[in-house]
Chains A and B, each alone.
Chain A
């Protein structure tokens, strides 16, 4: 070696060079160990990007059918679900005006006023409880997924008056056709029972029996007249481009709107069961990855430990040349870190390569299910579109580094504790 190491410490350059040589010297072992880590990390990246994408889609579908990422409602409506707690026409206008300000422009994708009431849909032979929603057809085309699930007829149009857009299940239960009339009954804002005649304009099919039987869309103005809400609605549902901006948007809206009579909520409050489903799926994912990577960690531990036990003599020589126990240990840890970094980068490249090389348009899981699946009121899209997040990649890299370092600690201690004389006594 041309330059001389300073007696008090081993320079980092030399330390890394020693470690690198060791990794290279036993190439086959290094490759096997690195493959396990690379594969483990690639798998982590793969499943995280797909899961993040899928969860965003669950949330998106759920809030489109439900109350939006952010909902502006009358105070108390969330618990009472009663028309006594309406969002008044004035408050609705205020909220719409606030949403028009430039701060929301880049984040809000659409907003829709809705008037929702539970009621009964009846034909001559049968009655079925339904959830009646008065909607503004022009904005709902952007917002609700229902208009895309058209099976027959057409979605509501702005000029419609006594029209209804209903699910396939309801049509079957009530024996309806396009153009047939049926009666919906519900309690109005004054608590009086009011009937309303509607004509079926279009039929949708979500594939989820509950939704196909219970959701009914009718024009907002018709619903407001029928239920006597004097321009009031039950909620203004707001759709964001990303669910991550919901909390901030709620805070800002709260500041802009009157504090009395108006409540601003995020989807985690209006659909807690949806958040629970996302959380539990995430939790299961992390446990699964924790376990697979723990198995990888044991493989690394074994590999590094074996390489240490094989090189007792070499470590003996290093110690005899003046390396401290601490420095010998650091050489071993450096080996572990080097293996982790190399396989970490390879794993990220492999994971991202597979995800975005093959599935950037989505991984179609529909071959596994021929029924629609519903989770917490959200329709599950069988096509999983991956979502890329820098933070997620960073976490994965940290995770694998942590595993690499912690798996090298025990072997490093073994290397540091070598008895120099004992280690150099025998020729092996």
Chain B
């Protein structure tokens, strides 16, 4: 048997010698592991929710505009300038880029919405209902009614806007909007549905029409759209996907400005980073607390065995051997704690990621960095959380074992065996 295995075996024996002490120490470490894993999961759950609500809800993860569209968002700044683009070719070219899930055209206009005596300002948004559903979730937020049809003067409204206008499914409303030919476009439309997203600025201002109907209202041709919005397979790869776009549409000879969500929602990207740095703080604090407990236990355990160490030393064992056995003892505790921690944390993470417990009975929803956060305990499963926690835990037990180990290695065998403290 090699000496390493002997020290390992001595360590394992000692862990078993005082089971109650071992159990409490492992319990504290496992609690730390579970706590930091679940807390990191919750924090990543909030970030994921913010990105989803911040991008899936309406904008998509990638936006393609004409070069001069931002920041004025002028009605005239359509893709391809006044001539417009061949929409079908453009959609096909962008949709074919690796990593893009779906792409949809949009037309925007600012206008006034009136119903009866009430009037409000609104953002008119023309969408293609079939394509739109695979990029954003706004159409699935429909609470009553149905989607607007092609060639029909039909709209759907946000809930708050509808309440303000005292309009409901079946009401008639008048839309007034400046048109691209310099005239004022206005017409009577029928409300065929009301949607509720929970995001205040959408519910209070958005009026959705079929894209071709809005184009007719504001005098834009079929090929003139303001935006192509795309969704991607992996939200974190948006920047790389954007870099692929120019090559994909080079043959169409259209000048475009494409942006990933990290650019047009920098506050969201910023919050994601902020949350990631807080994860480190969580792990640090949890395990700094644990260091004291483990160090204390190991100090007692080695003090109890000072005679034993003295005998081993007297028999000729090297100092490193003692250090090794004490440190491997704490490492054994650490590994057992991780195993226990994984066993406890995995079901919690699985459960809270599949069916997050609802907290709406304590608190309401709130918004952060402009994105809606729902009041629930949604956990985002990831390998980063457990990995970070496990690393923190192993560093903890190593450091906590080192001090008692060095102390016991330092004592002089002769003094200890003679009965001195």
Interface residues of A (CB under 8 A from B): 28-29, 32-33, 35-36, 39-40, 43, 80-82, 118-120, 122, 125-130, 169, 172-175, 185-187, 191, 193, 208-210, 214, 272-277, 279-280, 283-284, 287-288, 291-292, 294-296, 298-299, 301-303, 305-306, 310, 368-377
Contacts and interface: CB of A to CB of B under 8 A. Distances in A.
A152 to B, nearest CB: 16
Given A32-B295, A125-B76, A373 B270 contact: yes
Interface string B273-284: 010010000100
A129 B205 contact: yes
A369 B271 CA distance: 8
A28 B178 contact: no
Nearest to A300: B293
A127 B175 CA distance: 14
B304 to A, nearest CB: 8
A280 B114 contact: no
29 contacts: A28-B299, A36-B292, A39-B292, A118-B121, A118-B164, A128-B73, A128-B110, A173-B72, A187-B118, A191-B118, A193-B119, A275-B364, A277-B368, A287-B39, A288-B39, A288-B285, A295-B35, A295-B293, A296-B293, A298-B27, A299-B297, A302-B21, A302-B25, A305-B24, A306-B21, A306-B297, A306-B300, A373-B267, A375-B369
B234 interface: no
A61 to B, nearest CB: 14
B45 to A, nearest CB: 12
A373 B266 CA distance: 10
A192 to B, nearest CB: 8
Contact of B119 (A36, A191, A302): A191
Interface in B77-111: 109-111
B33 to A, nearest CB: 10
B112 A32 contact: no
A291 B286 contact: yes
A306 B297 CA distance: 8
Contacts of A36: 289, 292-293, 296
Prevailing SS type, chain A contact patch: helix
A80 B39 CA distance: 40
Contacts of A128: 73, 110
Given A33-B292, A172-B72, A291-B31, A280 B366 contact: yes
Contacts, number: 198
Contact of B267 (A208, A275, A280, A284): A208
A294 B24 CA distance: 12
A129 B110 contact: yes
B184 to A, nearest CB: 11
Contact of A193 (B20, B114, B359): B114
A272 B367 CA distance: 11
A370 B296 CA distance: 42
A302 B296 contact: yes
Interface string B198-213: 0001001100000000
Interface in B362-400: 362-370, 375
Given A120-B121, A291-B31, A302-B24, 5 more contacts: A118-B204, A214-B201, A298-B31, A299-B296, A306-B297
Given A288-B39, A292-B286, A376-B366, A187 B119 contact: yes
A299 B292 CA distance: 7
Contacts of A126: 72-75, 110
B413 interface: no
B199 to A, nearest CB: 10
Interface string B163-177: 010000000000001
B193 interface: no
A302 B294 CA distance: 9
Interface of B: 20-21, 24-25, 27-28, 31-32, 35, 39, 42, 71-76, 109-112, 114, 117-123, 164, 177-178, 201, 204-205, 266-267, 270-271, 274, 277, 282, 285-286, 288-290, 292-297, 299-300, 359, 362-370, 375
A275 B365 CA distance: 10
Contacts of B204: 118
B274 A368 contact: yes
A292 B120 contact: no
A128 B270 CA distance: 26
A137 to B, nearest CB: 24
Nearest to A298: B28
B270 A120 contact: no
B299 to A, nearest CB: 7
B183 to A, nearest CB: 13
B293 A210 contact: no
Nearest to B288: A39
Nearest to B206: A129
A403 to B, nearest CB: 12
Contacts of B367: 273, 277, 374-377
B121 A302 contact: no
A126 B70 CA distance: 12
A169 B375 CA distance: 30
Contacts of A173: 71-73
B72 A302 contact: no
10 closest A-B pairs (Cβ-Cβ)?
A: A299-B293, A127-B110, A36-B292, A120-B121, A191-B117, A298-B28, A172-B71, A125-B74, A187-B119, A371-B270
A120 B112 contact: yes
Given A32-B296, A302-B24, A296 B289 contact: yes
Contacts of B31: 291, 294-295, 298
Given A33-B292, A118-B120, A295 B363 contact: no
A35 B290 CA distance: 11
Contacts of A193: 112, 114, 119
A302 B178 contact: no
Given A119-B121, A283-B362, A291-B286, A375 B368 contact: yes
B368 A175 contact: no
A262 B267 CA distance: 39
Contacts of B114: 187, 193
A303 to B, nearest CB: 5
A347 to B, nearest CB: 12
Nearest to B271: A373
Contacts of B366: 273-274, 276-277, 280, 375-376
Contacts of A80: 164
Contact of A186 (B24, B110, B121, B178): B121
Contacts of B297: 299, 302-303, 306
Contacts of B369: 373-375
A176 to B, nearest CB: 10
B267 A374 contact: yes
A358 B365 CA distance: 35
A194 to B, nearest CB: 10
Most buried by A among B28, B120, B121, B300: B121
B293 A276 contact: no
B166 to A, nearest CB: 9
Contacts of A81: 164
A81 B205 CA distance: 14
Contacts of B35: 291-292, 295
Contacts of A174: 72
B370 A122 contact: no
Contacts of B27: 298
Contact of B111 (A29, A120, A305): A120
B270 A369 contact: yes
A294 B300 CA distance: 21
Contacts of B20: 305
Given A32-B295, A120-B121, A128-B110, A374 B25 contact: no
A375 B369 CA distance: 6
